[in-house]
Amino acid sequence: MSPTVRTGEIAPLINNLVDRLAAQLAQEGAPARLVVGLTGAPGSGKSTLAGSLCTALAGRRALAGFVPMDGFHMSNAVLDELGRRGRKGAPDTFDVEGYLAALDRVRAGAEVLVPVYRRELHEPVAAGARVAGPGVVVTEGNYLALDAHGWRGARGRIDLLLMLDVAQDELIRRLIARHEAFGRSRAKAAHWVRTVDVPNAALVAASAERCDEVWRAG
């Protein structure tokens, strides 16, 4: 089945989603937790959307926690050891099994401490976020719908998976600006986007059919 495509301003889309999730949690026999995944290409706005969704859910007392996929980046030391530092952010530069194990614990209802990624450090930090109690667990990352590189199991652990769809020209503009903001020269930023981010974005786009919904803001 093809994903449902939703277009419009992000705020109304989020409000509609929160209403749907609250209604689902209130149904008789509903699970104590629902895992909602947000995916999309690098630079598509996943982190911003995740933050807004978490705030809206918390306002309805329906948020159990946040599990960012980026927290499962391999450390720079491990990437150096494996020879993968030059394409950090690619599917095989994450602790996929650790991420899947965390989702399993979340779905089992446990209190879970998960790592987060600190962009100013360019490193993951252990136990940076906490999942506790009933409600919605939000997780976001590039590869939640990917059917390769060990990521296939993520989809089955996510109850509702949304993809943010953004035009490639806009993604490239945002990504170059992001890399410059974190210290790269414009030339180095553009090279990284062309050789690492754009190929990763193509992988993400190819996995859209495994999502439940595709959102196009406008």
Give the global pTM: 0.95
Pairing of strands 112-118, 123-131: antiparallel
Q: How many CB atoms lie within 10 A of CB 20?
A: 11
For the chain, 218 residues long, give each residue's pLDDT as a single digit of tens: 799 999 999 999 999 999 999 999 999 999 999 999 999 999 999 999 999 999 999 999 999 999 999 999 999 999 999 999 999 999 999 999 999 999 999 999 999 999 999 988 889 999 999 999 999 999 999 999 999 989 999 999 999 999 999 999 999 999 999 999 988 999 999 999 999 999 999 999 999 999 999 999 87
How does DSSP classify residue 133? S
Write down the pLDDT at residue 138.
98
Write down the pLDDT at residue 218.
74
Give residue 19's domain range. 4-217
Q: Which long-range contacts (CB under 8 A, 24 or more apart) does 129-132 make?
A: 129/65, 129/66, 129/67, 129/68, 129/71, 130/65, 131/64, 131/65, 131/66, 131/67, 131/106, 132/64, 132/65
Neighbouring-strand partners of residue 73: 94
CATH of the domain at 99: 3.40.50.300
φ and ψ of 40, to 5 deg: 155, 175
Write down the pLDDT at residue 17.
98
Please spell the DSSP secondary structure of 59-95, one letter per residue.
HTT-EEEEEEGGGGBPPHHHHHHHT-GGGTTSGGGB-
Write down the pLDDT at residue 119.
86
Q: Is the dihedral of CA 136, 142, 148, 149 positive or negative?
A: negative
Domain count, the chain: 1
